[in-house]
Amino acid sequence: MSTFLWTRDEVIAATGGKAFGPDWSATGVSIDSRTAAPADIFVAITGDRFDGHGFVAQALAGGVAAAIVNHRPAGVPDAMPLVIVPDTLAALRALAERARARTHAKLVGVTGSVGKTGTKEMLGAALAAFGATHVNAGNLNNHFGAPLSLARMPATTEFAVQELGMNHAGEISPLSVLARPDVAIITNVEPVHIEFFESEDGIAEAKCEILDGLTPDGAIVLNADNRWYDYCRAAARKHGTSRIVSFGRAEQADARLISVEVTPEGSRVKASIAGTALTYRLDAVGEHWAINSLGVLACIDALGLDVHRAAKEISRVTAGRGRGAQVRITLAEGGSFLLIDESYNASPPAMRAAFQVMAMSAPEPGARRIAVLGDMRELGNTSAELHAGLAGDLMATRADAVFTVGPFMRELRAELPEHMLQAHGEISQDIAGPVAASVNHGDVVLVKGSLGTNMAPIVTALRALSEPPAMVVPPMVVNGH
């Protein structure tokens, strides 16, 4: 059996493009010339801020198998392997559609306001125990990323997991139709990206777009504890979906949490999955991981797979860098501190979950809990209220010091006692130095903010205190993804 992902003839058949140059076969697909590997197909996407056609010559010089373009770029000789199509993004979607059609893989689609990535990683770990599994890398979940991930799916794939994201209405539906999930999960509906919606029910409606691509006998998995559960359940019934599976603490949930013991080292979970009693451990820290693990096992059960085996596999999945990874950083002058790196994203429920993790992580005697918090983005005219509303949960953590970044975090500062307040910056670089200078042996430091607030410089400054550099166990890798 061929080890190639795509041949030239398969690409022509899928896209309807016209080939130029010699014959070729490819082992991967890329839309970024900086990371394109030799033998990849480079798809020259034209976006709002870039045009991939300007990097075609560079990609070909780097050894890619071929480039998919809408015209021959300047500086690319006639002998170079090209496939010319009217629309390169449409061609990428065509590859994704063909990749999905040529495999008999059972695919799980994942969406939700919070917890998508952790759920995706647990699903990938669980499914890999049952066969060759393809999981979207990183955050490849939008109109560029999801088609790219699907186009990378080998024909021999037996199980797949595809995260589907959005920040506007109408974005999930075409991605779901492309992915055609056999099982879909909505982790929850929360006021995330509310800036782009008239109300929260618009977010619920947008998340329910994942039903549009669900296979005729597919199952939808819903969070019974979420206040939008009944809405999503009704949407599924209206859609004609009869297999509706619930998870959570609720007594009626099909995948029900009986108890959870949460410690700084992980969680011990007792659950009932469709009547099957389970006890399992999670290395990931936080009650939210336990709840999402129920959704994962509900998906596994909906696929007719062994939930006991799956529960063992998900135990080793931990939060990735920027998404809750806990790093013990050794200080150059001696001692160490714990960094909780939540710098990748933020929303009100995600902030509260991170606060709970910080509260469980006890500082050394005489040391402090330090929260470094950046603005939560895309909350619209509710932003001031939602930032201020974090105060009670933050104070409940017994945080000793709070640094803040961004204009809306001023609303939170106004609700906190003076003794907790440390430096504030309009951008993260303003306080990276003061944060790093304040950290001492035994401290617990939480860094959290939206990606657009760019909390990464603060994490970089904290990591730079280490001598030698800090070591962290990477997030679990499933079948090379």
Considering 55, 88, 121, which residue would you say is the last residue of a domain?
A: 88
Same domain, 181 and 302: yes
At residue 475, the pLDDT reads: 40
User: Is residue 45 included in any domain, yes or no?
Assistant: yes
d(CA 243, CA 237): 9
Tally the residues of the chain. 481
d(CA 402, CA 371): 5
Q: What is the pLDDT of residues 201-234, one digit of tens each?
A: 999 999 999 999 999 999 999 999 999 999 999 9
How confident is residue 478, by pLDDT bands cut at 50, 70 and 90?
very low
Same domain, 62 and 125: no
User: Is residue 35 included in any domain, yes or no?
Assistant: yes
Same domain, 304 and 179: yes
Q: What is the pLDDT of residues 7-35, one digit of tens each?
A: 999 999 999 999 999 999 999 999 999 99
Indicate yes or no: pTM above 0.85.
Answer: yes
Considering 260, 281, 314, which residue would you say is the last residue of a domain?
A: 314
C-alpha neighbours within 13 Å on the C-beta side of residue 66: 26
With beta carbons less than 8 A apart as the criterion, state whether 463 and 470 touch.
Answer: yes
Give me the CATH number covering residue 186: 3.40.1190.10
User: Is residue 478 included in any domain, yes or no?
Assistant: no
User: Is residue 319 included in any domain, yes or no?
Assistant: no
Same domain, 353 and 223: no
Mean pLDDT (whole number) for 249-276: 94
How confident is residue 468, by pLDDT bands cut at 50, 70 and 90?
low
Q: Is the pLDDT of residue 479 over 50?
A: no
Same domain, 163 and 252: yes
Mean pLDDT (whole number) for 108-116: 94
The residue type of 396 is A
Helix H or strand E encompassing 11: helix 8-15
Mean pLDDT (whole number) for 310-336: 91
Paired tokens of 360: 């469980």
d(CA 123, CA 29): 23
Same domain, 62 and 130: no
Please give the distance of CA 170 from its chain centroid, rounded to a whole number. Answer: 19
Q: What is the pLDDT of residues 165-197, one digit of tens each?
A: 998 999 999 999 999 999 999 999 998 877 788
Considering 46, 64, 88, which residue would you say is the last residue of a domain?
A: 88
d(CA 208, CA 190): 13
d(CA 475, CA 459): 17
Same domain, 382 and 304: no
User: Is residue 476 included in any domain, yes or no?
Assistant: no
Q: Is the pLDDT of residue 481 over 80?
A: no
User: Is residue 152 included in any domain, yes or no?
Assistant: yes
Q: How many domains does the chain have?
A: 3
At residue 467, the pLDDT reads: 60
Give me the CATH number covering residue 35: 3.40.1390.10
Same domain, 61 and 187: no
pLDDT mean across residues, the chain = 93
Same domain, 366 and 402: yes
User: Is residue 96 included in any domain, yes or no?
Assistant: no
Same domain, 122 and 218: yes
User: Is residue 472 included in any domain, yes or no?
Assistant: no
Same domain, 302 and 340: no
With beta carbons less than 8 A apart as the criterion, state whether 76 and 82 touch.
Answer: yes
Same domain, 115 and 249: yes
d(CA 308, CA 324): 26
Domain range enclosing 25:
6-88
